[in-house]
Structure 1
Amino acid sequence: MSVSETGTGQAPRHSSVGEVPVTSVLSYHDAPIFSGEYSADDEALVALGYKPEFKREFSLWTTFCVSFAVLGLLPSFASTLYYGLGYAGTGGMVWGWLIAMVFIQCVAMSMAEICSSMPTSGGLYYASAVLAPPGWGPLASWLTGWSNWLVQVTGAPSVDYALSAMILATASINNPNYTPEAWHTFLLTTLIMILHAFVSSMPTKWIANLNSVGSTFNIIALFIVIIIIPATAMRESLGYPKFTASSEVWGTIYQGTEFPAGISILMSFISVIWTMSGYDAPFHLSEECSNASVAAPRAIVLTSAIGGLFGWFLQLVVAYTVLEDQIDSIIDSDLGQPWAAYLLQVLPVPATNAVLCLTILCAFSMGQGCMVAASRVTFAYSRDGCFPCSWWMARVNKTTKTPVNAVWFNAVIGILLTLLLFGGPAAIGAIFSVGALAGFVAFTIPIFIKTFFVADRFRPGPWNLGRWSRPIGTLGCAFVLLMVPILCLPSVIDGDLTPDLMNWTCLVYGGPMLGAVIWWIVDARKWFKGPKVNIEHLMIGRKAEDVGQIEGHVIEGEKVRAPVIRDDSDFEKEDKLSGSGSGSESDARARD
């Protein structure tokens, strides 16, 4: 990168956007102003339109640790066993996970490619605005932002609700006279949410170190559980063979729904999709990550790939040890937690307690990771005025250098969402399906735009898929289009469908999204122009009298407000106006 170094009394250094390896929202002739010693990451962020506001204290490992903590394989699997095992049985678990993971990996790789090109905490919301066709950027950004915020804000309460249920189920196992009540679960969930909010308000380095410890523990605990269950399973003492025959594991579809077996397997994908929905966390942490355009996309792909592989191992362990003729008793257990019911069915009580304790500790780490990721998303959207009182949520605490206000806003919303548990299992279960559906929609909007509208005009970052970009993006988009209606189906149909068995995903997700659409039509379209940039920059080729001086920096008089996608015709017009010609080295880089 050709930059002029800054010294005392020297002019501020600047860099051509065409030389920065990111998809900039500025004109390719612009020169962002660097008023100090900026790293390459900070220069890339300035080219994207933002002043660096966070300390870059996340590495590839710690970024991966946060996303793996958000993924939380063991607690995620435990939380969604009701859908994986309950909808399609062992056959659906083992085949469903494999099939779904192929397509989820396509989504993850396409997202990573976008992240490398636009490493900013706005993530998918920012990318949608930049990549959308002219005039459609604000709407694409608006819909992506609200859908992504819904998955983020439901992440921590869904994890913490499942965590509370596991804690109370453990208490019930060890004290048969105790039966958990709904209000017990609500109060415990609220306490855990508050604890997570306090932890997520700490300085970035503390959070990074804590998540590193938590993710390491998650990985170790996963290995321990995968070993403990087959080693201590007492199937033989119950009159069963040591392990279920492979023909039954892979060939038996449990009819947990009133739909055909194929649809039941697709419905069981909610377990996979919700479990694997945390791999976008590195995108939102990219402004706090060093070497972000490489480390963040790598963390995305590693999280999805490693999580998918070890998640499948856990599926196999359960599929080969569960009592195949006792699935109903697991799903309908009075413990209120299928994972605890399964463990108590196949393991002695001491081993059950050990596995539950490991799961509980992993779930606590996962919930905290979800809270951190959600706060960064809320901060990024508030920075652009997406929410009422955005000015308050967009503040960075001067002491911790973290978005503390955004943390507590999400915590309050999450606590209110857990009131759904008083509506019964189907109502509280909606926060799991909403997380899967909202995440998929948000993940796919920018991927769809890039794949089918931008195509060869997309400027990839250092990490990219090359010629495989479009095929992989197409597979990911096709899978999402298939799964969106599937995730909204109830498990029963016709006369058996009652309010307590209804899939309330349409209401819990569709209600806020409908409100966002109405808000857009009535008012937001008049003032929301997409992600706002907050830097001053020099527009090369302008006359000297059009350029002002503010605090010693040469800047253009008005800030850029809406990102645009530029094509070769734009470059040719600017070349004619500026007289720079069309064959320069910088032009070639800009069109690359």
Structure 2
Amino acid sequence: MSRVLSDVVCFRRVNGPNPPEDEINLAKLGYRQELKRSWGFFLNMGTSLGYIGIISSIATLYSFAFKTGGPQTILIGWLIVAFFSMSTCLSMAEICSAYPTAGGLYYWSAKLAGPKWGPYMAWITGWFNVLGMLTGSPATSLQVASILGSIIQIYNPDFSPSLGWLYGVAIAYAFIGSATNSIGEASLRAFTWIALVGISTGVVVIGVPLLVMSPSKASASFAFGTFVDLTGWDNSAIVFQLGFLLPMWCFWGYDASAHISEETVNADTTPAKSIIYSLVLSIALGWIFLLILSFVITDIDEILDCPYNEDLVCVYLQGTGGSKPMAFFLTLWTLFQFVFQNITGHNGASRGIYAWARDGGIPQWFAYVHPTSKQPLKTIWLHFFTTATLLLINFGSSQAVSSFSAFSTIGMYAAYTLPTICKLIWARDTFKRSKINLGSFSTIINLVAALWLVYMIVILSIPRRIPVTSSNLNLSPIMFVGVFLIINVIWFLGARKTFIGPRQHITAEEIEVLEKSKESLAEKEVVEA
């Protein structure tokens, strides 16, 4: 009851006639309050939890991981990557607490790198963040189409989805995400609550039937000791590390909490806490889910020879004693996990791209907030049309689209870590800590995060199959280097003269008015008391 009353008080304060503390702090960071500020901790955290979408993220690369290290790499690699990913997460949360803006990552790089290097570092960070979000969507959308095809195949084994069918389902999925984010703040809050509940209970809904119906359970030595290698590499250490792509792909998306900080109450603490809690919860839920999957598998060959689009369907069938109705239900619930991720993912991405447009990273025409719905409609639909366009590549090269998952992972982690690197190089002694901080451990955790980024770029650039052919070529390092070169060419050809980093969108006089209004409110509260 006390939490409900607190939320009501916060909501009234935010939407009342007097400017709240959050609005004044945002003004000091250079921005007016344009988006409606009414989100609390659970909705903010739920947005990141949904964007991570732990079950749907696992489902996207489970088949790859099973053939690239098997259960051993999946379970042990998950914990290794989780440990190092937390260094990135904690570093980001500390900076977010000091600079809670919708721009998030690029804004932080600009402020931490200082006036000389700030615009350039913001330019690099912003583009990797935006492109990371946009290129992750096509791979996820196609995965949804593939899973839907597997659901059909359970009762119609002869069904073989065409490229046109896959494209149609994929863009329909992307359309749902944009449409649900366009209809208004109140509806979006409701959808986010539904997504939060659905994702939080997903492991239980899938895991309990598997544990109850499984005719036998694998031993711990089988689950943690079975190594599968269909990569062609003759070096098990390399294969083990290639399997890290699964958790690396799963452990991003928590920047969504920063991107909706301008809509969140207590922005100097809530988004930072949400960043940490969403990843910790995702790590725990994901490992439990993978444990259950690994312990209900008793026949490796049956999974490797799975006739369906997705190996996960064969795991569900094996774990339910061959029950097609239950496997159908579990696969359908997995599909719903993608829908939950879709809604929250579009929310965080559209805000990040909106902020990028607001500061001139892309044409400011996109920095539009609808006066009634209070949603950045142009960036919401930019997300959809970009996804629909990139999906066309699948008609020519499915390998190119699948490489988007690795590129988006590299791009997002580069964007995640660049502010930390800026802090280490330019602001290690001048950074002003806010309420959420790492104390004396800040520098060492920042260093671990920076080194982890370098390691990730190397691992994700290694060929995933040997021998390398045109059909299995890992395009992600080519894409990463190509994008880096292109955004640098654009910078030196002209952007360096026009892009100044975060802009001042509010005057000192307006900030003074807000502060005086706050003082008047405080005096009024004292008198009334």
User: TM-score surpassing 0.5?
Assistant: yes
- In the TM superposition, residue 249 of structure 1 has moved relative to its aligned partner by 2.1
- In the TM superposition, residue 391 of structure 1 has moved relative to its aligned partner by 2.5
Partner amino acid for 2:367?
A
CA contact (8 A) 2:75 2:290 kept: yes
CA contact (8 A) 2:67 2:304 kept: no
Q: Number of aligned residue pairs: give it.
A: 495
Judged with a 3 Å threshold, the aligned counterparts in structure 2 of structure 1 residues 228 and 42 are, in CA distance, closer, same or farther, namely same
Task: Answer 1 or 2: higher relative contact order, Cα 8 Å, separation at least 6.
Answer: 2
Judged with a 3 Å threshold, the aligned counterparts in structure 2 of structure 1 residues 312 and 392 are, in CA distance, closer, same or farther, namely same
Of 372, 375, 378, the residue aligned with 1:399 is 372
Q: How far, CA to CA, are the matches of 1:151 and 1:225 in structure 2?
A: 30
2:282 paired with 1:303: no
5+ residue gaps, structure 1: 1-35, 235-241, 539-549, 555-592
Partner of 2:406: 433
Of 478, 484, 505, the residue aligned with 1:513 is 484
Partner amino acid for 1:315?
L
Q: How far, CA to CA, are the matches of 1:327 and 1:470 in structure 2?
A: 48
Measured against aligned partners, the alpha-carbon deviations of 1:129-181 in whole angstroms (never above 9, x if no partner) come to: 00014411111000000000012112333322211211121011121232212
Q: How far, CA to CA, are the matches of 1:95 and 1:302 in structure 2?
A: 22
Q: Secondary structure at the match of 1:96?
A: helix
Judged with a 3 Å threshold, the aligned counterparts in structure 2 of structure 1 residues 84 and 327 are, in CA distance, closer, same or farther, namely farther
Of 435, 460, 465, the residue aligned with 1:462 is 435
2:367 paired with 1:384: no
Q: How far, CA to CA, are the matches of 1:553 and 1:287 in structure 2?
A: 20
Partner amino acid for 1:518?
V
Partner of 2:131: 150
Q: Secondary structure at the match of 2:368?
A: coil
Judged with a 3 Å threshold, the aligned counterparts in structure 2 of structure 1 residues 468 and 324 are, in CA distance, closer, same or farther, namely farther
Partner amino acid for 1:102?
F
Measured against aligned partners, the alpha-carbon deviations of 1:74-101 in whole angstroms (never above 9, x if no partner) come to: 1111111023222111110111000000
- In the TM superposition, residue 425 of structure 1 has moved relative to its aligned partner by 4.3
Partner of 2:260: 285
Judged with a 3 Å threshold, the aligned counterparts in structure 2 of structure 1 residues 380 and 63 are, in CA distance, closer, same or farther, namely same
Q: Secondary structure at the match of 2:68?
A: helix
Give runs of ≥4 in structure 1 deviating > 4 Å: none
- In the TM superposition, residue 497 of structure 1 has moved relative to its aligned partner by 1.1
Partner amino acid for 1:498?
T
Q: How far, CA to CA, are the matches of 2:122 and 2:314 in structure 1?
A: 43
Greater Cα shift, 150-159 or 356-365 = 150-159
- In the TM superposition, residue 203 of structure 1 has moved relative to its aligned partner by 1.8
Partner of 2:223: 249
The structure with the larger Rg is 1
Partner amino acid for 1:217?
G
- In the TM superposition, residue 328 of structure 1 has moved relative to its aligned partner by 6.4
Judged with a 3 Å threshold, the aligned counterparts in structure 2 of structure 1 residues 553 and 299 are, in CA distance, closer, same or farther, namely closer
CA contact (8 A) 1:156 1:371 kept: no
5+ residue gaps, structure 2: 1-16, 515-529
Partner of 2:523: none
Q: How far, CA to CA, are the matches of 1:431 and 1:271 in structure 2?
A: 14
- In the TM superposition, residue 526 of structure 1 has moved relative to its aligned partner by 1.4
CA contact (8 A) 1:103 1:479 kept: yes
Q: Normalising by the residue count of structure 2, what TM-score does the alignment of the two structures yield?
A: 0.90
- In the TM superposition, residue 324 of structure 1 has moved relative to its aligned partner by 5.0
Partner amino acid for 2:433?
P
Partner amino acid for 2:427?
V
CA contact (8 A) 2:26 2:32 kept: yes
CA contact (8 A) 1:57 1:205 kept: no
CA contact (8 A) 1:274 1:432 kept: yes
- In the TM superposition, residue 334 of structure 1 has moved relative to its aligned partner by 4.3
- In the TM superposition, residue 321 of structure 1 has moved relative to its aligned partner by 2.1
Partner of 1:123: 104
Of 304, 319, 326, the residue aligned with 1:329 is 304
CA contact (8 A) 2:296 2:318 kept: no
Partner amino acid for 1:391?
Q
CA contact (8 A) 2:259 2:352 kept: yes
Q: How far, CA to CA, are the matches of 1:342 and 1:526 in structure 2?
A: 55
Of 352, 355, 361, the residue aligned with 2:327 is 352
Q: How far, CA to CA, are the matches of 1:116 and 1:307 in structure 2?
A: 21
Q: How far, CA to CA, are the matches of 2:376 and 2:354 in structure 1?
A: 6
Structure holding more helix per residue: 2
Q: How far, CA to CA, are the matches of 1:54 and 1:120 in structure 2?
A: 11
CA contact (8 A) 1:421 1:427 kept: yes
CA contact (8 A) 2:178 2:384 kept: yes
Q: How far, CA to CA, are the matches of 1:111 and 1:451 in structure 2?
A: 13
Matches within 5 A, 1:69-88: 69-88=50-69
Judged with a 3 Å threshold, the aligned counterparts in structure 2 of structure 1 residues 157 and 371 are, in CA distance, closer, same or farther, namely farther
Judged with a 3 Å threshold, the aligned counterparts in structure 2 of structure 1 residues 126 and 271 are, in CA distance, closer, same or farther, namely same
2:381 paired with 1:417: no
Measured against aligned partners, the alpha-carbon deviations of 1:447-475 in whole angstroms (never above 9, x if no partner) come to: 11213431121101111111111111111
Partner amino acid for 1:256?
L
RMSD, aligned α-carbons: 2.0
Q: Percent identity?
A: 26
Partner of 1:581: none
2:236 paired with 1:261: yes
Of 51, 61, 71, the residue aligned with 2:32 is 51
Q: Secondary structure at the match of 2:228?
A: coil
Q: Normalising by the residue count of structure 1, what TM-score does the alignment of the two structures yield?
A: 0.80
Q: Secondary structure at the match of 1:501?
A: coil
Q: How far, CA to CA, are the matches of 1:202 and 1:154 in structure 2?
A: 24
